[in-house]
Structure 1
Amino acid sequence: GKEISLIARTNTAVAAAANGNLEEGFCFNKDAGMLQCSAGELSTRVERRSAKNGNTYLRYKFSKVKCRKCPQRENCYVGKSNAKVRSYSMTQVSEKNLERLKFEESDYFQERIKIRHRIEEKNGELKEAHGLRKADSRGLFAMHLQMYFTAFTANIKRIVRLKELAMA
């Protein structure tokens, strides 16, 4: 069969997570396996959550008591929040999403994304002006027929319009 490549940009949240930049002053303490704030305090625990997109979300929780007494509280990323729990969230991008982001950097993708808007414009016209928003009948075969006839009609209208412009 044919291999089909999706030419669309990845969700910005996934792309941003791939950068993995920590807020200023935060670092990962490998020995403790925890996040360390700019005041040198370690997070007390970490919660892991897996998302449908394959990414893993880590929420490092800090001690409320220590955060309350911290001299850097006003300038701290964790301390600014009015939330009851002092936490710092990070996203670990899945291997599949990293491969996708790498594909988006390729020359092939960059060339194809430049023409995507023209294709979307045609699809929008078929949907809005020619009734492809809703199926006229039930079943996949009927939908295929509707799509073919709609595309045929749109192309004939375009040909007639171009011929009229050429004659003028």
Structure 2
Amino acid sequence: MELPRQFGVELIGPVLPDTSWQTQAGKGFESFRFQIDWQAKQVRCPMGRTSNYWSEGIDRVGEPLIRARFSRKDCEVCPGFQDCTTSAKYGRCVSFRPQEQHEALQRARAYQATQEFKERYQCRAGIEGSISEAVRVFGMRRSRYIGVAKTHLQHMAIAAAINLHRWFAWVEERPMAATRVSRFQALAPLGS
């Protein structure tokens, strides 16, 4: 089941990068370098070793998670052992989501590194600014009416009000709002 096909919607947004210490330190092997054999329930490391443990469970927030662990004996003889794991008792442990989620995450990470993604994501910034304005200035999160039709009418009125608000600002040549300045920064002299 792929959400875009099921609902006819495409979600565009950044996904979190790999936050493992190996990725942050630039040493060892990031989790995406490991090859997963879903049918055999084994993982092969970049040095050719095969995992000896596979566990399917849930993470701290109740989402499905798979953990694969490598034998300490296999990891000890590996030339990259010190950069790959810090465990004194076990070999390297790799965690990942079930196959469909894992593959979708890898595709999304690869796509967000492209120029096409960056251009498409720029449009979202303008949309998020409009939504933020609708919420802050016009109270769009709260429906004043009961029923879908009346709520839709309220949203249409707010959209029209945003357009009028922006038009008046343009006519009066009011500059766009600057980025928020912290109280500490406001204390600094203007010349600095």
CA distance, structure 1, for counterparts of residue 68 and residue 10 of structure 2: 37
Q: 1:34 to 1:158 in 2, by over 3 A?
A: closer
**Paired letter, 1:122:** S
Aligned to 1:21: 33
TM-aligned CA deviation for residue 152 of structure 1: 0.8
Q: Provide the rounded CA distance (Å) in 1 between the counterparts of 2:77 and 2:113.
A: 43
How many residues were matched structurally? 146
User: Aligned-residue CA RMSD in angstroms?
Assistant: 4.6
Question: Which of the pair has the greater relative contact order for Cα pairs under 8 Å at 6+ separation?
Answer: 1
Tell me the secondary structure at the aligned position of residue 128 of structure 2. Answer: helix
In 2, the alpha carbon distance for the partners of 1:101 and 1:61 equals 24
Q: Counterpart of 1:91?
A: 96
Shift in CA distance, 61/111, structure 1 to aligned 2, threshold 3 Å: closer
Contact 2:140 2:155 (8 Å CA) reproduced? yes
Q: Which has the higher strand share?
A: 1
Gaps of 5+ in 2: 1-7, 24-29, 175-192
Residue 135 of structure 2 corresponds to which residue in structure 1? 127
1:46-88 Cα offsets, whole Å, 9 max, x none, are 213488xxx9743234679x7xxx799x94755x358x87761
> What SS does the aligned partner of 2:33 have?
coil
CA distance in 2 between counterparts of 1:36 and 1:114 reads 38
SS in 2 for 1:138: coil
**What is the CA–CA distance in structure 1 between the aligned matches of 2:123 and 2:165, rounded to whole Å?**
22
2:161 is aligned, of 153, 161, 164, to: 153
Give the drift of 1:109. 3.1
Matching residue of 1:10: 15
User: Which sections of structure 1, spanning at least 5 residues, go unmatched?
Assistant: none
| Residues in 2 aligned to 1:86 and 1:161: alpha-carbon distance in whole angstroms | 62
Summarize deviations over 1:73-110 as a string: whole Å, max 9, x none. Answer: x94755x358x877612326534444544554565433
Q: TM-score, normalised on structure 1?
A: 0.57
State TM-score, norm by structure 2. 0.52
When Rg is computed on C-alpha atoms for both structures, the one with the higher figure is 1
Among 114, 122, 127, the alignment partner of 1:114 is 122
